[in-house]
Amino acid sequence: MIEAVRNAFKLPDLRRRILITFLILVVYRLASHVPVPNVDPVALRQVFESNQLLGLLDMFSGGAMSSFSIMAAGVYPYITASIVMQLLQPIIPRLEEMAREGEAGRNKIEQYTYYLAIPLSALQAYGQSTILQTQGVITNFGLSGPALLPTIATVLTMTAGTMFAIWLGQLITEQGIGNGLSIIIFGGIVAHVPQRVGALLVGDVRGLIAFLIITAITIAVIIIVQEGQRRIPVQYGKRVLAMRGTRLRIAGGQSTHIPLRVNAAGMIPLIFAQSFLMFPGVIASYLVSVQNKWISSIATTVYKTFNGQGNFYYIMYFLMVLGFTYFYTDVVFQQQDLPENLKRQGGFIPGIRPGKHTADYLNGVMRRITLVGAIFLGVVAVLPWIVKVLGIVSNPGAMLITSAGLLIVVGVVLDTMKQMEAQLLMRHYEGFIK
């Protein structure tokens, strides 16, 4: 590993990419500490300590939400826009045609994704500010009276911060190493680890040891499942191609495989499930303080149920992750249209007839292995609840890295190492992965 790192810094191009990535991360971390005006930091810290609903948004903002900086929305609006555009492709024929037009079509869809991210950023900035305003964190905020101009300025500033974060992520993708947006989220997650380690060393050394063991086991399982795949053998028939004169050439006939990933959905089901479960709590937070006691009582019950702490919340979280894993995997798999692509290229699965039989076979295999991936994601999602129920720890909220955060961290590290591995192998150096 040390030799591979040394070789990586020997290559000027790869060294430049690594340094650019670190520089952009530093710029992002500095910008994420520029606070929004009229924010009470003490009240903000108390809200984050008592409410886990904001944890996902903080994770996707790279930690900027917990300090409510100008980048508090992070890159989450762009992620939401990307998911929406991907789900709209099978519904809107024009988008589906663009997706099949190659790089030009993908660039057009990417452009529409950026356009959609702007209003989503503004809506999220306003929603976050409104929630914190009801908690007494932010003052001078509203759509009427003297608070109107400060509100507009806050929303526009946070929207600009989000688009700046997205631009930085794009720069990493183009000029640095790895996926830019994922690297930014990764940097925000690991930035809080030293602080949490220090707190556990001072207060609970036994808890630190337990967390380290749980983290190591979780990382090992994540790597196994993330890299797990079912390989479907594919055979290509031989074709006789006519050449000039009487010469003939035989093409094809080789064997290969289709790698079907166990966890093809990645983090998306966790995002979907947490977003859906967050929605009732967000709506209820607006109605808790209304004058009508009946409505206020119902809103308080709903808010306590969906505050990310009760048993009902985690059971629903687990079930929704399972459902969304199947839903998202099926949508993406159908978009790939593997049976038709195999048919066009003259490929077939041995023992399976082309066409509908191949489609049924691939769908069946995909749904069976998705069950493993869905259960894995569900367990990762509710891991803090599991360790608390088993009595391993008393405060799972103080984990070094959340289980969902670990999934992101491990995925980003694996993806980045694979890219660096490819760069080294192209230049005949021994890589990271043995």
Domain boundaries, the chain: 1-191, 202-401
What is the structure's pLDDT at 84?
83
> Which of 26-30, 55-59, 142-146, 305-309 has the least mean pLDDT?
55-59
Which contiguous run of DSSP H or E holds residue 230?
A: strand 229-236
For the chain, how big is the Rg over CA atoms in Å?
25
Assign 90 a pLDDT band (cuts: 50, 70, 90).
confident
pLDDT top residue among 296 and 232: 232
What is the structure's pLDDT at 253?
59
pTM of the complete model: 0.73
Give the mean pLDDT of 184-213: 72
What is the structure's pLDDT at 68?
79
Assign 85 a pLDDT band (cuts: 50, 70, 90).
confident
What is the structure's pLDDT at 392?
60
What is the structure's pLDDT at 23?
92
Percent share of the chain, pLDDT over 70: 80
**Same fold? 1-191, 202-401:** yes
Q: Is the pLDDT of residue 242 over 70?
A: no
Q: DSSP string of 299-323?
A: HHHHHHHTSS-SHHHHHHHHHHHHH
Give the mean pLDDT of 1-28: 80
Contacts of 50 (CB under 8 A, 6+ apart): none
Scan for tokens 């869809």, then name that residue.
Answer: 109
pLDDT tens column, 93-118: 888 788 777 778 888 888 899 999 99
Strands 248-252 and 238-242: antiparallel
What is the structure's pLDDT at 131?
73
Assign 200 a pLDDT band (cuts: 50, 70, 90).
low
Q: Is the pLDDT of residue 246 over 60?
A: no
Q: Is the pLDDT of residue 120 over 80?
A: yes
Q: Is the pLDDT of residue 134 over 80?
A: no
CATH of domain 202-401: 1.10.3370.10
What is the structure's pLDDT at 205?
66
Q: Is the pLDDT of residue 247 over 70?
A: no
Q: For all residues of the chain together, what is the average pLDDT?
A: 77
Report CA-CA distances (Å) from 360 to 354, 363, 366. Answer: 10, 5, 10
Strands 255-261 and 229-236: antiparallel
The 8 Å CB, 24+ separation contacts for 146-151 are 150/37, 150/38, 151/126
CATH of domain 1-191: 1.10.3370.10
Q: Is the pLDDT of residue 122 over 80?
A: yes
CB-based contact 267:288 (threshold 8 Å):
no
pLDDT tens column, 404-421: 777 778 878 877 877 777
What is the structure's pLDDT at 217?
81
